[in-house]
Amino acid sequence: MTVQDVKSFAAGRWVGSDAGARDIRSAVTGEVIARAGNAALDVEAMLDHAHKTGGPALCALTFHQRAKMLKALALHLGQHKQRLYDISFATGATQRDHLIDIDGGIGTMFVFASKGRREMPDAQVYLDGEVEQLSRNGTFVGQHICTPLQGVAVHINAFNFPVWGMLEKLAPTLLAGMPAIVKPATASCYVTELAVRIMLESRILPDGALQLVSGGLGDMLDRLTNQDVVSFTGSAETALKLRSAPHLLRNSIRFVAEQDSLNASILGPDAGPGTPEFDLFIKEVTREMTTKAGQKCTAIRRIIAPEKHVTAAIETLRASLAKVTIGDPKAETTRMGALVSTEQRDDVLQKAQTIGQEAERVFGDPARFEVHGADAEAGAFVPPMLFHCANPDAARHVHEVEAFGPVATIMPYTDLDHAIALANKGQGSLVASIITHDGDVARQVALGAGAYHGRLYFNNRDSMGESTGHGSPLPHMVHGGPGRAGGSEELGGVRGVLHYMQRTAIQGSPDILTAIGGKWVPGAQEITHADHPFTREFHDLQLGETLHTKPRGITLDDIEHFAEFTGDTFYAHMDDAAARRNPFFPGRVAHGYLLLSFAAGLFVQPDEGPVLANTGLDNLRFMKPVEAGDSIKVRLTVKHKTPRNDEYGEVRWHVTLTNQNDDLVAEYELLTMNAYQVP
């Protein structure tokens, strides 16, 4: 059998391992299958390449261009995923595990591609929050903006998800406009190497955007600058060692840490045997213990059940775990493959022994279990192991020791406060789940445990059909947790992108803020054009282009007609005395919706043209009532433009309605889809 030389991709070329490289063994057969590591890797050249070539190339693109790049990469990876499946079995992972790692990683990239297009502008500056009014007359205003850090993101990943682990960090990094140097864990780096190869073969990425270190990083971390980011996933021990390096501390280099955690799952007090929730709980726990052979940072390690249901839960879990077939990950009948290495197996067995000092093993004997289609001794196999800790308040190890394998401990609780206290004893976790059909239980847990957990996963009979699983971090939701879990966040949609950008407070005049942010700020210059803005194609419209309409008077007849026509005969529009008793109205007033309709009547240009549709209204506020005898006029200004596809883009218009005294009556943002070209 040939031993693969796992290469690094440094400063634009592939570099093989050297004499000091580490052997990597198959998790299933124990044979050496690959070697990785090169002590002579020129890390300074890699940093230089990222800083001088990759970064500027990415920064030159808009968020939408980067998002399109991510989509193309995800599609390309999808076309080649069989190659990744084939090579991944050697890590001990089953086909089901591949779906989480490989398909899950590609899916994460798709989500970031889509969020980049939908939630970020087609520009290089991301606006964070609204404009802040800093002066009485609005000539000096404030806004927070985010721009990409001008360094490189060094991604250090754990062994368990060689593809997802890389892509979940890479997608937000590239979307932010930062290049990355990826350093996978050596034990499974051959899978990451192939994924990087596939991405580079596509030639979608600009030069220098993605580099790879297979093996050790050398002294790279000591050469980073304040513009670089380290994003680490792995054990708490390694995180502590790396993040406390004086060079990182001295230069305030961002360090994102995703560590291990002792995640809990609580069986609600309402979810006893015989309820759909009880069955669901057993299913979730079994799955979380055995998927990826329990090598998941989010796996359930502590099972917290009402005292009176613990025996039933143990019995049912034993029956469920007994059905899990262990063996050759390639076999379709295998439910659980091997741990990544025999070293990992030894570590898990040793930690299980420590847990065993405080808890009784009630399922799974590592000395006696069946392995199908593989050599139990040569491969890194262990059975699922369930422990029962009868006195969890006095115990320490069960709340502290992470056996990174199919190992979990069940423990009793007396009441809900006790369950919450036990869940929080993990000192900060990535996720806790609560299986309950009772909203009060859910609310109490959210209040009592929210501060200790990065994610709370509630599931019951209503959501179980579509729920995504306790252990699945989703690109839309934040992943990370306080304390023991590392005190950082990743993912969470655009939030995850901002970890690779600097937030800067900008203060200045409305024109200055408009020029920087690419979004018209009220008070900035208005542009008038001879043609009505509704007749102008998307790309011709300029920010600040404004239409002022003529006024229109409002009569009592208008109000009555609208009331009768729509059925909206609310007393404030119909009964003068009743309206006067209301603290908001001077007497009968016009319907707000009538004013909006009149506004549209005032500003639209009726002919067929570039405006294709009105797709919504945002931030509508009625500021001052309008009575019969008043008049209104409209100011319509192009605030922001976002291309949506090859044919049209969204125009956000800032609209104000003022009365005959120029008092603001209503304000909103109108959204339209505008064609690039009128046929």
Q: Does 160 bind ligand NAP (CB under 6 A)?
A: yes
User: What is the nearest approach in angstroms of ligand NAP to the Cβ of residue 71?
Assistant: 24
Buried b (16+ CB within 10 A) or exposed e, 333-369: ebbbbbbbbbebbebbbebbeebbebbebbbbebeee
Find the binder of ligand NAP among 26, 108, 143, 259 (CB under 6 A): 259
CB within 8 A of 544, min separation 6: which ones?
Answer: 514, 520, 524, 525, 526, 527, 637, 638
* Listed ranges 170-178, 257-265, 278-286, 578-586: which one lies at the site for ligand NAP (CB under 6 A): 257-265
Q: Does 158 bind ligand NAP (CB under 6 A)?
A: yes
Find the binder of ligand NAP among 9, 63, 159, 363 (CB under 6 A): 159
Would residue 560 show up in a list of annotated catalytic residues for this protein?
A: no
CA angle 15, 21, 27 (to 5 degrees): 110
User: What is the nearest approach in angstroms of ligand NAP to the Cβ of residue 5?
Assistant: 16
Q: Which residue among 146, 168, 193, 258 is the active-site one?
A: 258
Closer to ligand NAP by Cβ: residue 238 or 354: 238
User: What is the nearest approach in angstroms of ligand NAP to the Cβ of residue 345?
Assistant: 13
**Quick check: 429 and 296 in contact, CB under 8 A?**
no
Find the binder of ligand NAP among 105, 177, 206, 234 (CB under 6 A): 234
What is the spatial distance between Cα 502 and Cα 500, in angstroms, rounded to a whole number? 7
CA angle 241, 242, 246 (to 5 degrees): 95
Count CA atoms closer than 13 A to 658's CA, side-chain side.
11
Q: Does 91 bind ligand NAP (CB under 6 A)?
A: no
Q: Does 513 bind ligand NAP (CB under 6 A)?
A: no
DSSP H helices in 1-139:
43-49, 55-59, 63-79, 81-88, 95-98, 104-119
Closer to ligand NAP by Cβ: residue 219 or 663: 219
Closer to ligand NAP by Cβ: residue 401 or 543: 401
**Which residue lies nearest ligand NAP, judged by its C-beta?**
234
Q: Does 29 bind ligand NAP (CB under 6 A)?
A: no
**Quick check: 317 and 386 in contact, CB under 8 A?**
yes
Q: Does 164 bind ligand NAP (CB under 6 A)?
A: no
What is the spatial distance between Cα 355 and Cα 349, in angstroms, rounded to a whole number? 10
Site for ligand NAP (CB under 6 A): how many residues? 23
Q: Does 228 bind ligand NAP (CB under 6 A)?
A: no
End-to-end C-alpha distance for the chain, whole angstroms: 64
**Quick check: 480 and 258 in contact, CB under 8 A?**
yes
Give the pairing of strands 552-553 and 488-491. unpaired
What is the spatial distance between Cα 514 and Cα 671, in angstroms, rounded to a whole number? 19
Find the binder of ligand NAP among 8, 186, 265, 320 (CB under 6 A): 186
- Token pair 């006790």 is at which residue? 418
Amino acid at the residue 103: D
| Residue whose C-alpha is closest to residue 406's, from 184, 97, 86 | 97
**Quick check: 373 and 327 in contact, CB under 8 A?**
yes
* List of E strands, 564-661: 611-622, 631-643, 648-659
* Listed ranges 80-88, 153-161, 306-314, 377-385: which one lies at the site for ligand NAP (CB under 6 A): 153-161
Query: 3-state SS string over 295-340?
Result: CCCCCCCEEEEEHHHHHHHHHHHHHHHHCCCEECCCCCCCCECCCC
Three-state DSSP state, 290: helix
User: What is the nearest approach in angstroms of ligand NAP to the Cβ of residue 37?
Assistant: 8
Find the binder of ligand NAP among 124, 147, 202, 235 (CB under 6 A): 235
**Quick check: 342 and 25 in contact, CB under 8 A?**
yes
User: What is the nearest approach in angstroms of ligand NAP to the Cβ of residue 630?
Assistant: 60
Residues 390-449 interacting with ligand NAP (rule: CB under 6 A): 402, 404, 430
Find the binder of ligand NAP among 17, 38, 108, 157 (CB under 6 A): 157
Q: Does 238 bind ligand NAP (CB under 6 A)?
A: yes
What is the spatial distance between Cα 545 and Cα 653, in angstroms, rounded to a whole number? 10
User: What is the nearest approach in angstroms of ligand NAP to the Cβ of residue 402?
Assistant: 6
Q: Which helix (H) or strand (E) holds 135?
A: none
Q: Does 183 bind ligand NAP (CB under 6 A)?
A: yes
Q: Does 152 bind ligand NAP (CB under 6 A)?
A: no
CA angle 281, 286, 290 (to 5 degrees): 150
User: What is the nearest approach in angstroms of ligand NAP to the Cβ of residue 480?
Assistant: 7
Closer to ligand NAP by Cβ: residue 50 or 185: 185
Q: Does 484 bind ligand NAP (CB under 6 A)?
A: no
Three-state DSSP state, 459: strand
* Listed ranges 49-57, 93-101, 184-192, 305-313: which one lies at the site for ligand NAP (CB under 6 A): 184-192
User: What is the nearest approach in angstroms of ligand NAP to the Cβ of residue 487?
Assistant: 11
User: What is the nearest approach in angstroms of ligand NAP to the Cβ of residue 584?
Assistant: 51
| Residue whose C-alpha is closest to residue 187's, from 218, 155, 214 | 214
Would residue 389 show up in a list of annotated catalytic residues for this protein?
A: no
Q: Does 312 bind ligand NAP (CB under 6 A)?
A: no
Closer to ligand NAP by Cβ: residue 404 or 653: 404
Q: Does 17 bind ligand NAP (CB under 6 A)?
A: no
User: What is the nearest approach in angstroms of ligand NAP to the Cβ of residue 127?
Assistant: 29
The torsion angles phi and psi of 407, rounded to 5 degrees, stand at -130, 130
Tell me the two tokens of residue 642. Answer: 């976002």
Q: Which residue among 146, 277, 284, 297 is the active-site one?
A: 297
* Listed ranges 151-159, 558-566, 596-604, 659-667: which one lies at the site for ligand NAP (CB under 6 A): 151-159
Q: Does 185 bind ligand NAP (CB under 6 A)?
A: yes
Q: Does 488 bind ligand NAP (CB under 6 A)?
A: no
Q: Does 233 bind ligand NAP (CB under 6 A)?
A: yes
What is the spatial distance between Cα 71 and Cα 55, in angstroms, rounded to a whole number? 19
Residues labelled as active-site residues: 258, 297
Binding residues vs ligand NAP (CB under 6 A): 156-160, 183, 185-187, 216-217, 233-235, 238, 242, 258-260, 297, 402, 404, 430
